[in-house]
Amino acid sequence: MSKRYKLHPISAVINFVKGLKDLVIPFAVILFANGFNGDWWSLFPYLFIVLALVFSLVTGIIKWKRFVYWFEEDELRIESGLFVKNKRYIPFERIQSLNYTEGILHRPFKLVKVDIETAGTNLSNKSEAELTAITREAADVIEREMAAAKRRKVNGDLEVLEDEQADEAELTALKSEKFYKMSLKELLVLASTSSGIGVIFSGIAVVFSQFSEFIPYDFIYEELKTFIQFGVFMVALAVFLVLLVAWIVSVGMTLLNYYDFSIAKEEDQLYITRGLLEKKKITLPMKRIQGVRIVENPLRQLFGYASVIVDSAGGSITDQQKINLFPLIKKAEVKPLLESILPDYDFQGELESVPERSKPYFYRIDFVWMIPIIVLAGYFFYPYGLFSLLLIPIGIAWGLWQHRAAGFTLLDQQAIFQFRVFSKHTYFLKRRRIQSLEVNQSYFQKRRDLATIQANIKSGSLGASAVVPHMNAEDAGRILDWYEPGTK
């Protein structure tokens, strides 16, 4: 095909905004450090900011003007660049998924951003190629060309002529098919129990670290001392209000990210759609799935909820590493839904628990860091420091809770590993997907005939691990024999 396609003009604005995001911190530092002293020399930094903005805008326009793509010889071909021309040829057979994003600037013009994922995407932690802004019709053309190219490959490179109206109807049916949709109640529970509050405080810490030299710590310290004098109640009330605001912001962020969460399934592909302000559609090829895990944090477990995550090989680190298949779902509904999506997995295996004699191994290592804290707190903050002794029963109870969760199941071609750190993780692993299996046995474990087993799988660019700690050494050896190449 000789026809060349261009991006929508809004791509120039999006490129400008992307460049602007990288300049925010340098601009803020210049503004804070320079100020205005009434002389002309103090205007030069502002002139620099204006020139940087103009340069960023011109760069965005050039990127848009010089970017073209077309289809030729069963490849998606992209050409970009002004002085140095970059050409990228991506065979359709290598493309594993097309992920769509509709941002604030896309929606008024009915546009999408298309991220093109291939098997080697995880090596660079970003998509193979990105079409910043194209119409939905143009995105459908890419899907049709890719499908036709793959059909020609299957049919021995014979020319395959398909009715365009049939293709259009197929695409429309695919978009409207909903296999699962998160209810409003589940969305609210997800937002209320999310860990986003930690992200909020991390962001505040980053801001403080960037502008620490401009923050009047002495003044803040004096004001804080005066405030503390109002009493414990006022301090507790202030802390509560800060945490409440952070929680509300966290809930709002989660609602925006997972609004209208739904899953569609078509043959060997899963399509996950979510988002309010920025709507995302992620395509997950079933053959990429390396493992499935059910995650239950204590708060959600208390109300009978869990999350389901699939570990995917390849994909960019942001979207395709650990995909929330069900961000929040009733525990009783998990296995029936998973069986309908992944029929080749067995989700009903009965777990074998780790032995009773391994209980001390789950908590005694914690005493290594508990004892110094207890001693120092008791010495320097006596008598209130003696409350640190409560760490001992808490640590023992936590270890016993971990022991109760640990277990495994060994099937013909699949293993189930379950363990708890803070949340309980239940991994479902196909033998052919396990990259490596490790059995570790310390000196103390050897004395009690115990061992720890760890299965490693692909998950984006970092990988993921399922661990069963302090199990019978005989069982660990049995799992190792099961994994040995050549076994049936």
User: Could you read off the pLDDT of 85-138 as tens digits, one per residue?
Assistant: 888 999 988 888 888 999 888 989 999 999 998 866 554 557 788 999 999 899
Give the residue among 484, 435, 488, 474 at the shortest CA–CA distance from 352. 474
Q: The tokens of 245 are what?
A: 């605001």
Instruction: Output the pLDDT for position 35.
Output: 57
Most confident of 145-159, 223-237, 443-457, 458-472: 443-457
Query: What three-state secondary structure class fits 76?
Result: strand
Instruction: Output the pLDDT for position 30.
Output: 67
* Cα–Cα distance, 139 to 5 (Å, whole number): 11
Provide the pLDDT confidence category of residue 172 given band limits of 50, 70 and 90.
Answer: very low
Say yes or no to pLDDT of 61 above 60.
yes
What's the pLDDT tens digit per position in 2-49?
Answer: 688 999 999 999 988 888 877 777 766 666 666 555 565 666 777 777
* Cα–Cα distance, 298 to 278 (Å, whole number): 30
Instruction: Output the pLDDT for position 238.
Output: 74
Buried (b) or exposed (e) across 312-328, using 16+ Cβ within 10 A?
bbbbbeebbbbbbbbbb
Instruction: Output the pLDDT for position 133.
Output: 94
Percent of the chain residues topping a pLDDT of 70? 77
- What average pLDDT does this structure show over 398-425? 93
Provide the pLDDT confidence category of residue 299 given band limits of 50, 70 and 90.
Answer: confident
State how far Cα 386 lies from the chain centre. 41
Domains of the chain, by residue range, sit at 5-176, 184-258, 262-354+406-483, 356-402
Instruction: Classify residue 192 as exposed, middle or buried by CB count within 10 Å of its CB (0-12, 13-18, 19+).
Output: middle
Encoded amino acid at 219, one letter: F
